[in-house]
């Protein structure tokens, strides 16, 4: 984890979330032209509600003492795998859906669902001295918690003044029942398909909050109620999320754990402030910590994403190390030099590709012209396998595991920033990664990217070396407790909830899954060409990208053939 002394913002403890539960009541509705469509029951919150007034939501509310009472649990049917905590969640959702909408998830002993007479006989707000569950039991009903499943779990963003931790549950709507709003907390119950709800929200006609929107987006992927219930039958949520917020275009935007900006927000605003600007720009350095700045070169493209990230590590007391100065763009290098106050002590290139290393010599000359000692250009020289545009010779070759240290006297005493050099061939034969040991940050160059997988282009690229290097980075992150990865393209990856090792594991799994598809293509068409194989192995990639993908496919083919029996 980064040192607290290097965080940009003072620590601010998030508000403790309140516990609640909500249920998505589902049905299959006939389409006018035939067939059916999945619908979910939603309702509008009171305009006077203290939390998200006027929003369309799923029925639910706070978990009460009665929901966790063993006496209530004894009045409910449940699955063997439903824990006591999950049963409490289900009972809270059943109670709230009845109180708010008059929907009663309860059955008679013969299996019949509660009917209109049962619903009319049970008070929505239980009289003093009794409970909702006891009222049901008096009618010979048992609460149908066994028909309520765990879809997801949301915990509200850390920067909100009022937060909830909420399991989102799903259940099929009982036949013969109709929702009737309580007209105090909830109004206007409506059956709507996820796609229609999202379209109406986009048109400004159906206000919803972030978790509701994201849940509907995922629900829209299912064809019917059976498909949803089959997906959640394993008793585990399909996703667990506590979103983080930042600024896009000057407006607050929230992101889930699987979305590109999440790791960066976890690094820059760990306890949630919503102040970090996420817009890609090349004009101003972006502070990530007090001792880490990122300046993105103005070279966006298919291969570079938003541009090449140049990093400055250090502070005014220690001077700076510049990582990947990028292309020889005078304006970009001048901004990088000024962000360091002209005090650049070393220039490190992670590898020799033309969007990473050409700016090194001009940046060094800029320092000399300003009367500073020439900062050494460090890295590994290009291998003979490198393409002509990727020729690079450093002033000094770095050694594997070498430590590059900046030290100085800060306001609170001695301060140091130490980068450990790791040789990581794969993307390029001379590729390096750097670990900022004091803060657990991995500068990954092009070995690990955010938003895409890096191209492995033989002969300088090698898939076997690439995967071996991933294993080495995983071990290094485990040894030093590294949580964050700072790539040469894209936002920061990782975080305390989803650390660097998880990112690496997913990337390796993705590469091996791709390799399995390549092998299957080769087996399906043993006499096929590279064009034939790329169509099969990269069928989930737009055809315009196939010429680039074919370079990585070749790397996979080389590794597959290397692993064949008899090849050492």
For 426-481, how does the pLDDT look when each residue is reduced to its tens digit (9 = 90+)? Answer: 999 999 999 999 999 999 999 999 989 999 999 999 999 999 999 999 999 999 99
Task: Give the pLDDT mean for 82-104.
Answer: 96
What pLDDT, on the 0 to 100 scale, is given for residue 566? 65
At 36, is the pLDDT very low, low, confident or very high (cuts 50, 70, 90)?
Answer: confident
* Stretch 31-43: mean pLDDT: 90
Q: Based on the number of CB atoms within 10 Å of its own CB, is 409 exposed (0-12), middle (13-18) or buried (19 or more)? A: exposed
Q: Do residues 154 and 22 make contact, with C-beta atoms less than 8 angstroms apart?
A: no
516 vs 325: CA distance, rounded Å: 37
3-state SS class at 305: strand
Residue 439 CB neighbours (<10 A): 23
- 187 versus 64: the higher-pLDDT residue is 64
Residue 299 has pLDDT above 90, yes or no: yes
pLDDT tens for 173-187 read 999 999 998 888 888
Q: Are 468 and 563 in contact (CB under 8 A)?
A: no
The first and second tokens of residue 534, run together, are: 């790329």
Mean pLDDT over the full length of the chain: 95
pLDDT at 567 over 80: no
Instruction: Give me the mean pLDDT over the 21-44 stretch.
Output: 92
In degrees, to the nearest 5, what angle opens at C-alpha 257 toward C-alphas 254 and 263? 85
**C-alpha to C-alpha distance for 180 and 178, rounded to whole angstroms:** 6
Q: What is the mean pLDDT of residues 167-178?
A: 96
Residue 568 scores a pLDDT above 70: no
Q: What is the pLDDT of residue 157?
A: 92
Q: Which residues contact 261 (CB under 8 A, 6 or more apart)?
A: 244, 246, 255, 278, 491
Give how far the C-alpha of residue 313 lies from the chain's centroid of Cα atoms, to the nearest Å. Answer: 25
Which pTM does this prediction carry?
0.92
In the prediction, which pLDDT does 498 show? 76
Q: Classify strands 403-410 and 60-62 as parallel, antiparallel or unpaired.
A: unpaired
pLDDT reading at 31 higher than 90: no
Which of 46-60, 82-96, 99-113, 502-516 shows the lowest mean pLDDT across its residues? Answer: 46-60
pLDDT per residue as tens digits for the range 235-291? 999 999 999 999 999 999 999 999 999 999 999 999 888 889 999 999 999 999 999
pLDDT at residue 214 in the model? 97
User: Residue range 132-149: average pLDDT?
Assistant: 96
């Amino acid at each position: 984890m980064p040192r607290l002394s290097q965080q940009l913002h003072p620590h601010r403890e998030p508000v403790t979330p309140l516990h609640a539960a909500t249920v998505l009541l589902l049905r299959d509705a006939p389409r006018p032209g035939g067939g059916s469509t999945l619908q979910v029951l939603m309702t509008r919150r009171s305009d006077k509600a203290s939390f998200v007034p006027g929003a369309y939501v799923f029925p639910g509310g706070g978990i009460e003492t009665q929901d966790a009472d063993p006496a209530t649990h004894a009045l409910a049917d449940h699955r063997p795998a439903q824990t006591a905590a999950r049963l409490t969640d289900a009972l809270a959702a059943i109670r709230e859906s009845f109180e708010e909408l008059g929907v009663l998830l309860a059955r008679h002993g013969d299996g019949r669902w509660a009917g209109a007479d049962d619903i009319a006989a049970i008070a929505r707000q239980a009289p003093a001295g009794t409970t909702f569950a006891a009222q049901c039991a008096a009618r010979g009903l048992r609460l149908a918690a066994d028909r309520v499943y765990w879809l997801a779990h949301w915990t509200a963003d850390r920067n909100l003044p009022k937060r909830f931790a909420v399991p989102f549950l799903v259940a099929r709507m009982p036949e013969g029942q109709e929702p009737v709003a309580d007209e105090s907390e909830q109004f206007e119950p409506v059956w709507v398909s996820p796609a229609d709800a999202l379209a109406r929200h986009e048109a400004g006609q159906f206000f919803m909050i972030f978790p509701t929107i994201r849940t509907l987006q995922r629900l829209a992927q299912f064809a019917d109620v059976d498909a949803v219930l089959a997906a959640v039958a394993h008793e585990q949520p399909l996703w667990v999320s506590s979103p983080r917020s930042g600024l896009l275009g000057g407006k607050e935007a929230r992101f889930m754990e699987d979305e590109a900006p999440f790791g960066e927000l976890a690094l820059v605003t760990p306890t949630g402030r919503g102040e970090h600007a996420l817009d890609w720009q090349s004009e101003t350095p972006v502070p990530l910590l007090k001792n880490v700045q990122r300046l993105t070169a103005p070279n966006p493209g298919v291969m570079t994403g938003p541009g090449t990230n140049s990093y400055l590590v250090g502070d005014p007391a220690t001077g700076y190390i510049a990582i990947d100065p990028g292309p020889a763009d005078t304006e970009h290098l001048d901004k990088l030099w000024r962000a360091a106050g002209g005090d650049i002590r070393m220039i490190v290139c992670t590898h020799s590709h033309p969007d990473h290393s050409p700016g090194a010599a001009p940046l060094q000359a800029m320092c000399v012209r300003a009367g500073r000692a020439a900062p050494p250009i460090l890295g590994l020289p290009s291998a003979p396998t490198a393409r002509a545009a990727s020729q690079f010779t450093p002033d000094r070759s770095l050694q594997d595991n070498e430590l590059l240290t900046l030290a100085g006297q800060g306001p609170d005493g001695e301060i140091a920033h130490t980068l450990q050099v790791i040789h990581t061939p794969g993307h390029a034969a001379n590729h390096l990664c750097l670990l900022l040991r004091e803060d657990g940050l991995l500068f990954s160059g092009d070995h690990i990217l955010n938003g895409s997988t890096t191209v492995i282009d033989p002969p300088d690229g090698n898939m076997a070396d690439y995967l071996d290097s991933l294993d080495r980075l995983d071990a290094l992150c485990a040894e030093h407790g590294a949580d964050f990865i700072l790539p040469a393209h894209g936002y920061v990856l990782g975080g305390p909830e989803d650390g660097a090792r998880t990112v690496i594991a997913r990337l390796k799994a993705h590469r091996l899954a791709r390799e399995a598809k390549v092998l299957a293509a080769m087996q399906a068409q043993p006499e096929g060409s590279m064009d034939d194989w790329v169509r099969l192995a990269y069928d989930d990639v737009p055809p315009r990208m196939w010429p680039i993908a074919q370079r990585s496919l070749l790397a996979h083919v080389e590794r597959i053939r290397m692993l064949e029996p008899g090849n050492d």
